[in-house]
Amino acid sequence: MSSLPRFNLAEIERSLTAFQKEFQRINDRLAIRREELTVEMVEQIVDAYGFLNSLLAKEMDLFTPAGLHALLELNHIVLCGTDKETRSQYYSHLQETRKSFLKQIKPIKDWVLRKRKATDPYELATGFYSRQLSRPQLFLEGNHRTGNIILNYLLVSKNSAPYIVSVDDAHVYLDISGDIKYTENGNYLDTALRMPGHKKRFKVFLRETVNEGYLEKRE
């Protein structure tokens, strides 16, 4: 893990800030409209990447028992940042998020642990993302934002560049993500007939849009 590159926070912030400024226009093009993306949300996503960099420096595996707490913390940062006073205001919600996470994470974790050595990076990231984002979702809120961060961790762990949302490709990313989100696990038509197509599109999308510029250059 120590050999993994760190995320380039400045470039990530630059891309997400440009995306946020164009969000209303992009949202108007989507098949399923999204909630507003605010400047504060962008800042909290960047903070979450900063936290992820600290985990990479510690060589932490996010899919071990200790690492699962870090996965949950990534979601907490995405939702309400790192300020202790703000956290205290969201205490009850964060506790409910924790309960939901603990109910949903085991099959996702087990799948990642089974597949990550033999699976190519885009299939691994897609498999995680589709399981995390489809219903029932892993987190109570912030599944798109947190899921993108975790899939980038998986990509980097497999020697791939990450995918960061940009103005140019956001509408495609959000439309495919919307299709995945409204797929119901346990529904035969969804899991057997619809999800394979969504996953195939997303895997191709990742392969074509990952970008080394969002990683720090190695010395």
Tell me the C-alpha to C-alpha distance, in Å, between residue 65 and each of 58, 77, 122, 139, 145. 15, 19, 24, 17, 22
Q: And the tokens for 76?
A: 């907490």
Looking at the domain assignment, is residue 96 inside a domain?
Answer: yes
Specify the 3-state DSSP secondary structure of 64. coil
How many structural domains are present in the chain?
1
Residue 102 has pLDDT above 80, yes or no: yes
Residue 2 lies in a domain: no
Q: 112-130 pLDDT, tens per residue?
A: 999 999 889 999 999 999 9
Higher pLDDT: 188 or 20? It is: 20
Q: Is 188 inside any structural domain?
A: yes
pLDDT given at position 184: 87
Full-model pTM: 0.95
3 assigned to some structural domain: no
Alpha carbon of 152 to those of 25, 93, 186: distances in Å?
Answer: 26, 26, 27
Q: Is residue 218 part of a domain?
A: no
Kindly state whether residue 40 falls inside one of the protein's structural domains. yes
**Residue 4 falls within a domain, yes or no?**
no
Summarize the confidence of residues 55-77 as an average pLDDT: 95
Tell me the residue type at 117.
Answer: K
Residue 81 lies in a domain: yes
The range of the structural domain enclosing residue 197 comes to 9-212
CATH of the domain at 152: 1.10.3290
- Please give the DSSP secondary-structure letter assigned to residue 194: I
Mean predicted confidence (pLDDT) in 27-43: 94
**Element spanning 1, H or E:** none
